[in-house]
Chain A
Amino acid sequence: MNIYQPQLATVTDLIDETIDTRTLRLEFLDEAVRESFDFKAGQFGEYSVFGAGESTFCIASPPTREGYIECSFKAVGKVTTALREVNRGDTVGFRGPYGNWFPVDEWKGKDIVFVAGGIGLAPVRCVIWNVLDRRDEFGDVTIVYGARSVDDLVYKRELEEWSSRPDITMVTTVDPGGETKDWTGDVGYVTPVVEKTAPKADNAVAVLCGPPIVVKLTLPVLGKLGFADEAIFTTLENRMKCGLGKCGRCNIGPVYVCKDGPVFTAAQLKQLPPEF
């Protein structure tokens, strides 16, 4: 088996989340692959448009929804621009799942706090739905999500659904100046909004993903709220090509993000050299 040869998948649905961000739903062409494909929340893959190349994103749909996978991406480079051009029924390539995952099974009985900024909600969304699909197994669920502006919020329909659920504390915020006249959510950066929301840290874990600046600033705030470094999980998204620990570009010191990650605890992050 040539590990670099992709599986083929059909685009069965697509949603434009924002002006430049899109979600694709993919179903594997090969029935055997469709049946046997399995992954865990937090794993990633190499998605490709033939002729444009491969790009790395997490799987944004939860493993509890079988038969398809979803990815969300911002059209900024060659491959993501090409992925944004595909239509329903088109064929794309996928290699994966790769990397480690969020230890969701170990969180049974705990409260879970999700913090995401911008497109950083994509990997977190996979975990959110994974937890919601097994809602009884977990305690309180809090979601704090922020984006630059109302237009930049992704998964808008899901944000509404989560807001309306009585079993979720949902806070949506936009950066100052990013609000619209009819905006009813918070206004402010993610970090101070997390501090204000003040989810309790007893018997809780936090899942954090966003631009480097959001992660960097939010880690100490979660610490101040009482979250131990071992109870804070994040996912790193370094540039990758192979996803298999061979091509040599995603490492941070001795850690290969593709093999040892992409999921790390804050305690593990603190052990890494400051090169991410």
Chain B
Amino acid sequence: MTDATDKGAADTGVAQRYFIGEDDLRTLTGDLLAAGTEVIAPVAIDICQSPSAIAASACTRPGVAPVEIEYRRLASATELDLGRGLPELSLKGYFLPEHEALCRWHQHGTTVEVEPVPTEFAPRVVLAAKPCDSAALAVVDQVMNWDYHDELWNGRRAATTIINLACPVIDEGCFCTAVGAAPDDVKGADGLLTPVDGGYILEVTTEKGRALATAHEARLSADVPADTLGRQADDERAAVRARVAGNLEIDAASVRDWIDTHFEDPLLASLANRCNGCGACTSVCPTCHCFDIVDEEEGVGHGTRRRLWDTCQSPTFTLHASGHNPRDDQNVRYRQRINHKFSIYPLKFGEVLCTGCGRCTRVCHAGQDLIEILSEIDIAARRPRETEAGTPAEAGAAS
């Protein structure tokens, strides 16, 4: 176990399997909290009790569930919600906070003192993460380490052990398997919980995951009969994959190349006809990582330089000081979002900047539907090649 080299959260391919009862999982959570470890996990929040008037008003609307799932820092193990619902926001904010300090400054006359911010973080554990959310972290790892290493991102990644919970597939808006992720993925995570009779099969795949299992061996059983519990877990994993697969099937390589070569195609220009540029999609997206940097004065002569989530859907995102704006209408800004996720990022880093969580579609009040959009692009990407060269399969292989 000790000689296995751990490259970040890399999956070593060797999964150690354990059984853990549901009560033991809560006890383990309690043990972590008792030891002072921060635990982040889905929590069911009664929105009728929300201090936010907007959120609370939703509970009186017909058809709206009065419960919202969010990833929260647990105060106690009883808060842990294992109902497998989709948290409203992804895990992104725990690695790239909505706003965070990059440094602080103190001005003394003409001199300035810059106070660094810590880039090392206390160990913490994420339990029952959605596989699409952990996979998103692994995807964003690439840009955060493109030549220059983002120490704030990397520090939080290194300090965090993530255990996923196999996703039952939320609704027809999920499409993880179409973009290279899966509802039972361990990508970006250190282990996976799969529900079986009486509890969960825990598979740990990285050094961090194994360390967590070793430290809590008392709550785990290494005796996983392959023909009963083991098979149940395998069957469940196969079942969830099969359940999501029909939601969307695209040839991601053809989509990537088509977007790259059809920048001015009317299809890309018309995709945003319903979009009014609010940026909610980028906010809920687990992979959208664009940010702004601003100075925040906190009194005379001192303050904090912060980075904040930003959105490519805002007109000011690319606005030059001269007044010139390279992306001066919503159609081109929406095209940018699609282009960045499904063409620019895969061309640069070999991975789609999307894990198919479907949050953007669910949150959009204008009805922008990413499944519909990707299907349209996929059809366009196959069409000319079908006429020229025969089958869509050939078109995919040619790219």
Contacts and interface: CB of A to CB of B under 8 A. Distances in A.
B151 A211 contact: no
Nearest to B293: A241
Interface string A56-96: 00000000000000000010110010000001011101000
Contact of B114 (A5, A74, A212, A249): A5
A126 interface: no
Contacts, number: 132
Contact of B293 (A54, A253, A274): A54
B78 to A, nearest CB: 38
B326 A76 contact: no
Contacts of B326: 238, 252, 275-276
Interface string B95-123: 00000001101010011101011010000
Given A51-B107, A76-B322, A253-B260, 11 more contacts: A3-B149, A5-B114, A212-B324, A241-B293, A244-B147, A246-B144, A246-B291, A248-B289, A248-B310, A249-B290, A275-B263
A48 B295 contact: yes
A188 interface: no
B171 to A, nearest CB: 29
Contacts of B105: 50-51
A166 interface: no
B34 interface: no
A127 interface: no
A116 to B, nearest CB: 16
A80 B112 CA distance: 19
A211 B321 CA distance: 12
A275 B103 CA distance: 33
Contacts of A275: 263, 326-327, 332
A126 B236 CA distance: 64
| Chain A interface main SS type | loop
Contacts of A1: 151
A8 interface: yes
Interface in A223-276: 237-239, 241-242, 244-249, 251-254, 259, 273-276
B305 interface: yes
Among all A-B residue pairs, the 5 with the closest Cβ atoms: A248-B290, A273-B263, A4-B102, A91-B112, A50-B105
A178 interface: no
B343 interface: yes
A97 interface: no
Contact of B321 (A76, A247, A276): A76
Counting chain A CB atoms within 10 Å of each CB, the highest count among B143, B148, B150, B264 belongs to B148
Contacts of B260: 253-254
B170 interface: no
Contacts of A180: none
Nearest to A87: B110
A53 interface: yes
Contacts of B322: 76, 211
A2 interface: yes
B339 interface: yes
A212 B332 CA distance: 19
B112 A253 contact: no
Contact of B340 (A2, A3, A245, A251): A251
Contacts of B102: 2, 4-5
Interface residues of A, number: 44
A3 B155 CA distance: 13
B216 interface: no
A249 B303 contact: no
B343 A3 contact: no
Contacts of B303: 50-51
Interface in A81-129: 87, 89-91, 93
Contacts of B348: 254
Given A4-B305, A89-B110, A247-B310, A254 B146 contact: no
A276 B325 CA distance: 8
Contact of A246 (B114, B148, B318, B344): B148
B293 A247 contact: yes
Interface in B140-168: 143-144, 146-152
A211 B340 CA distance: 26
Contacts of B344: 251, 253-254
Nearest to A86: B110
Interface in B212-232: none
A212 to B, nearest CB: 6
Contacts of B150: 3, 246
B143 A246 contact: yes
B114 A6 contact: yes
B111 A91 contact: yes
B285 to A, nearest CB: 12
A52 interface: yes
A259 B312 CA distance: 19
A91 B260 CA distance: 44
B293 A2 contact: no
Contact of B107 (A2, A4, A50): A50
Given A90-B110, A252-B326, A2 B152 contact: yes
Nearest to B96: A246
A238 B114 contact: no
